[in-house]
Amino acid sequence: MTNLFEKYTTDSVFRDRFSLTPEYVPEELPTREDEQTRMVEALSILLDPFRPVAVNIAIIGPAGVGKTTLAKKITSDLQSYATSQNINLETHYVNCHSFRTKTSILRRLATDKFNIQGRGFSDEEMMEMLAKKLSRENKRIVLTIDEAGMLKPEDILGLMHMNELFPPGVGRISIIIITRRQQWSLMLNTHLSGRVQDQINMKKYTREQLKKILSYRAQLGFYAGVLSDEVLEMIVDIAATTGNARHGIEIMLRCGMIANAKKTSVITPEFVRAAKNEVYPELRPDVFNDLKMNELMVALSIATILSKSGGLVHTTINEAYQVYKMFCEQYDIKGQSKATFRLYLDNLAQLGIVISQVKPMPDGSRGRRSIITLHDIPALIVKERVEEAIKKKVQNKLD
């Protein structure tokens, strides 16, 4: 009997499916050559073996314009070159969807890079231990903080202040901040901007740029003949409405999966139309997997209310909180207070999953109330993705 997985891989339209996933960092970054040059110029000072200094960079722009890919590509090349030159430099990446405080970032850094168990120590104690280790080993760290808007600006500033633990003129911890423009504007209200040596602004892609990027990824991801020029143009047109390359790449990935399921060797326009209805550029594909269980309960309560027959436009905090408590009981999760529920709601809003607004009372009476709605994503889709993420977490706990 033929193994099902063997048959899948031999009959697949994918040359390299991984090259179409969000985790993939390509060898080339078409249309981002200027940004690459600018980052290399800013970080090259870290390659001076006799003068340890620190550089802080901010990469700013909307979703899907290659901020994370740019940072990962450049830091990977930086570490590779430093190693070849016997320069003791390491890079480290954290996403604030998973690490939302200075403490959690310090613990991960201490554990992964120095085998220091951070639990039981204050932030100041951990920073001192890290500084001593870096000095003793003559090492430099480049820390990339993705989705930095999830952190308090004071936390990022605190990480930058670690360089003050070294002698004057010495810096061993460089930081790359990745964030969206609106969140960066909020950070500028602190002393953070004065600590950033370079700010790289990344705009939405033009249609011409998207065509270059998607053509490149199609060549990596599919065998020749799978994606025709005509069908590629359809995907480019869709992505051009958002200026979001990730949107187009996700559509290509989904089209390939549909083609495999239908056992055909070509992607048709109909597959593109179907994929377009399943891919939403507002959300990263794995955003729900990074949520805490209580946050998933909040998202599930909102999506459940808004997916009721009749298609409700919005709900209220009181209504969502009651449904949240019901789901907590159903999944045997300890429900939190309404104040904590609001904090979870704020996190979901920062991630772009929900919109929370304060509006006048509908009956015209004095006062205002908070209403909650979703971005341009069907409530049923959000509900399905949340339930899938909950299922994974429950399964991992059982395993």
pLDDT in tens, 69-108: 999 999 999 999 999 999 999 999 999 988 889 999 999 8
Per-residue pLDDT at 310? 58
Per-residue pLDDT at 18? 96
- Spell out where the chain has E strands: 56-60, 89-95, 140-146, 173-179, 198-201, 315-316, 354-360, 368-374
| Joined tokens for residue 47 | 């390659």
Alpha-carbon span 24 to 60, nearest angstrom: 20
Alpha-carbon span 216 to 15, nearest angstrom: 13
Alpha-carbon span 32 to 28, nearest angstrom: 9
Q: Which of helix, strand or coil describes residue 288?
A: helix
Per-residue pLDDT at 239? 92
The continuous run of DSSP H or E covering 220 comes out as: helix 207-221
Overall average pLDDT of the 249-270 stretch: 95
Claim: this prediction has a pTM higher than 0.85: no
Per-residue pLDDT at 367? 57
CA atoms within 13 A on the CB side of 123: 11
| CB-based contact 248:214 (threshold 8 Å) | yes
Within 10 angstroms of residue 278's Cβ, the number of other Cβ atoms is 12
CA atoms within 13 A on the CB side of 116: 21
Check residues 357 and 103 and name the one with the higher pLDDT: 103
CA atoms within 13 A on the CB side of 206: 5
First and final CA of the chain: distance in angstroms? 30
Q: Is residue 361 over pLDDT 70?
A: no
Going by their DSSP bridges, the two strands 315-316 and 198-201 should be labelled as unpaired
pLDDT in tens, 14-29: 999 999 998 999 999 9
Per-residue pLDDT at 85? 94
Exposed/middle/buried for residue 190 (C-beta within 10 Å: 0-12, 13-18, 19+): middle
Per-residue pLDDT at 16? 96
Alpha-carbon span 316 to 306, nearest angstrom: 11
Domains annotated on the chain, with CATH: 4-21+205-276 (1.10.8.60), 33-201 (3.40.50.300), 287-398 (1.10.10.10)
Confidence of residue 380 (pLDDT cuts 50, 70, 90): confident
Alpha-carbon span 248 to 241, nearest angstrom: 10
Per-residue pLDDT at 350? 80
Per-residue pLDDT at 358? 72
Q: Mean of the per-residue pLDDT values for the chain? A: 88
Per-residue pLDDT at 11? 76
Per-residue pLDDT at 9? 58
Percentages helix, strand, coil for the chain, rounded to the nearest 5? 55, 10, 35
Per-residue pLDDT at 98? 84
Running DSSP on this structure, what letter comes out for residue 317? H
pLDDT in tens, 125-181: 999 999 999 999 999 999 999 999 888 888 999 999 999 999 998 999 999 999 988
Per-residue pLDDT at 259? 96
Core vs surface per residue 360-375: b (16+ CB within 10 A) or e: eeeeeeeeeeebbebe
Per-residue pLDDT at 371? 83
Per-residue pLDDT at 27? 94
Per-residue pLDDT at 353? 85
Which candidate, 225, 274, 281, 270, places its Cα nearest to that of 248? 281
pLDDT in tens, 212-228: 999 999 999 999 999 99
Alpha-carbon span 293 to 327, nearest angstrom: 11
pLDDT in tens, 304-342: 999 885 556 789 999 999 999 999 999 999 999 999 999
Strand order in the sheet with 198-201: 89-95, 140-146, 173-179, 56-60, 198-201
Q: Above pLDDT 70, what percent of the chain?
A: 90
